[in-house]
Amino acid sequence: MRGEIDLYTAPQLHSRLVDSLDDGARRLVVDLSRVDFCDSTGMNVLLSAMKRARERDGEFELAAPRPAVMKILQVTGLDGVFTILDSTDAIPVPAGTSAVE
């Protein structure tokens, strides 16, 4: 992903995440390093995907959120809900994993 996750772009992200899970991904890592903004629609998409991944005994992580996105996560308390990785540098990509940018 890059730019903004909002009312206009969230449906595309939702489709990509659901498709990855439906294709059998057991771990989703969403690279937020190039996302400047995420509104409530985008947060709901991320929450929904995390719930769906957990229902399938999978993992869902957010990687390298920029300060503006991290602030939204903190203000909403979602920083305590999501697993947040500080960077994308050491993310292994084993079989059964899907990375969504």
Residue-wise pLDDT for 12-61, tens only, equals 999 999 999 999 999 999 999 999 999 999 999 999 999 999 999 999 99
Whole-Å CA distances, 56 to 18, 40, 92, 95: 12, 24, 20, 16
If you classify domain 3-13+26-90 with CATH, what class do you get? alpha beta
Residues 6+ apart with CB under 8 A from 15: none
The reported pLDDT for the residue numbered 89 is 81
Is residue 13 within a helix (H) or strand (E), and if so which, with residue range? helix 10-22
The reported pLDDT for the residue numbered 58 is 96
Whether the model clears a pTM of 0.85, i.e. scores above it, the answer is: yes
39 CB-contact burial (10 Å; exposed 0-12 / middle 13-18 / buried 19+):
middle
